Amino acid sequence: MNKKPKIVILGAGYGGIMTASRLIKSNTQQDAEITLVNKHNYHYQTTWLHEPAAGTLHHDKTRMEISSVIDLKKINFIKDSVVEIKKDEKKVILENGEVDYDYLVIGLGSEPETFGIPGVNENSFAIRSVNSVRLLREHIEYMFASYNKEDEKHEDILTFVVAGAGFTGIEFVGELSERVPELCEEYDIDPKKVKIYSVEAAPTALPGFDEELVEYAMNVLESRGVEFKINTPIKEVQDGKVLLNDGEEIKSQTIVWTTGIRGSSIIEDSGFETMRGRVKVEKDLRAPGYDNVFIIGDCALIINEEINRPYPPTAQIAIQQAYTCSKNLKDLISGKEELDVFKPEIQGTVASLGGKEAIGLVGDRKLYGGSASAMKKIIDNKYLFQLGGVPLVLKKGKFNFF
């Protein structure tokens, strides 16, 4: 009697859940036993998290129960946290057990990149998970609620420092600057007392993005009172303040760290060779030396050969990798030797700036304001459609009501 091979997918982020979804669509569960392991019983959309972090969208709009998008009669689901991957023994150690595999898909996501700057993890908030963003939202509201309760009015209560002006940082600043007037109204605070700093070490906000669009974004955000400190590396984060390289310090009770990400430390701790926590995978997305292990999403490093630099880790690429990964898994199981080569197709990049403002680049076309904002919603809805069809779009989708 032939036993079915076991496929284990670690993580139900963009890459993991889409791999599970594609495997079911291609009926791979007939030929393999598929198991999905995830810390939570829900999947969430990392690229939306800046909204619940600022309080402009409820966090439940960014997440969905795994059982609502994946047919759990067709695959196994284990709600547990991964501790270590024993790649030579083909098993995964979980907090409450372990699981064997014949084929493994690693989609364990990312961690904040601190660049070794002291005090970051202890003294700053992250935009990373449903848990972390609802804490940040509550913290921000608590600051506003505190201000009129204090006998001495400390400015740092209403000062918000966002470290990093990449996509997450800019999108969060956009939402926060939209939310501030509401919070001021709610807590009887003069909006002039609120300060939002966007601090970036690189010589520009949104490094690598189209200059004209960056300028547009900065103008929009500055008009809402955001102060940019570009070309300004951070030396240290202390409790209640940020020390800049140039000697200045900014006192703030709310420091949000968005200077980029590195791959999950589980990968490195499990003995894979990594660069900033990411494994430089083969063209078919397998880990070098491990023909039965695929690595996708934020844990995978793919070089853009045109410019000889890694592609930034995005949801778009993770989703595309899931398509290739699931296809290659099915092929492997059915005995094919030639696997598909992964090649990202960048369909467009849009950054929301809060409210109806956004910027975007679709091919060579630059988008501003309303049209970029509409494009952002179309992209978000497209993912929901890929994952759960029309019902999921209707349930969790974003719509403009003009």
The distance of closest approach from Cβ of residue 322 to a second copy in the complex, given in angstroms and rounded to an integer, is 26
* CB contact set of 199 (below 8 Å; sequence gap of 6+): 161, 162, 163, 164, 165, 229, 232, 234, 242, 244, 250
* Count of residues touching a second copy (by CB under 8 A): 14
d(CA 141, CA 119): 23
Name the residue nearer to a second copy (CB basis): 27 or 131: 131
d(CA 194, CA 181): 9
Q: Which residue among 139, 280, 366, 382 contacts a second copy (CB under 8 A)?
A: 139
The distance of closest approach from Cβ of residue 73 to a second copy in the complex, given in angstroms and rounded to an integer, is 24
Asked if 60 and 51 count as a contact pair (C-beta separation under 8 A), the reply is no
With 0-12 CB in 10 A as exposed, 13-18 as middle and 19+ as buried, what is 203? exposed
Phi/psi for 262 (5° steps) reads -130, 165
Q: Which residue among 78, 93, 145, 230 contacts a second copy (CB under 8 A)?
A: 145
**DSSP helix, strand, coil percent of the chain (3-state; round to 5):** 35, 25, 35
Tokens for 155, please give them.
């400015």
Q: Binding to a second copy by residue 137, rule CB under 8 A?
A: yes
The distance of closest approach from Cβ of residue 128 to a second copy in the complex, given in angstroms and rounded to an integer, is 10
The distance of closest approach from Cβ of residue 81 to a second copy in the complex, given in angstroms and rounded to an integer, is 11
| AA letter at 398 | K
Q: Binding to a second copy by residue 123, rule CB under 8 A?
A: no
Residue span 75-94 as binding mask against a second copy, x where in contact by CB under 8 A, dash where not: --------------------
Phi/psi for 70 (5° steps) reads -120, 130
Question: Diameter of the chain by CA atoms?
Answer: 77
Name the residue nearer to a second copy (CB basis): 136 or 296: 136
List the beta strands (DSSP E) in 159-310.
159-163, 195-199, 226-229, 234-238, 241-244, 249-251, 254-257, 261-263, 279-280, 286-287, 290-295, 300-301, 303-304, 309-310
Q: Which residue among 80, 83, 187, 369 contacts a second copy (CB under 8 A)?
A: 187
Name the residue nearer to a second copy (CB basis): 67 or 400: 67
Q: Which residue among 61, 79, 134, 377 contacts a second copy (CB under 8 A)?
A: 134
Q: How far is CA 9 from CA 104, 256, 331, 334, in A?
A: 6, 31, 17, 18
Name the residue nearer to a second copy (CB basis): 81 or 223: 81
Q: Binding to a second copy by residue 269, rule CB under 8 A?
A: no
From the list 130-138, 194-202, 244-252, 258-266, the region that binds a second copy by CB under 8 A is 130-138
Q: Which residue among 27, 131, 304, 400 contacts a second copy (CB under 8 A)?
A: 131
Q: Binding to a second copy by residue 3, rule CB under 8 A?
A: no
Asked if 171 and 220 count as a contact pair (C-beta separation under 8 A), the reply is no
Phi/psi for 43 (5° steps) reads -105, 145
From the list 146-154, 157-165, 265-273, 289-297, the region that binds a second copy by CB under 8 A is 146-154
Tokens for 307, please give them.
């410019």
Name the residue nearer to a second copy (CB basis): 187 or 385: 187
Q: Binding to a second copy by residue 400, rule CB under 8 A?
A: no
From the list 138-146, 296-304, 319-327, 376-384, the region that binds a second copy by CB under 8 A is 138-146
Q: Is 138 a catalytic residue?
A: no
| Chain residues that interact with a second copy, rule: CB under 8 A | 131-132, 134-135, 137-139, 141-142, 145-146, 148-149, 187
Catalytic residues: 171
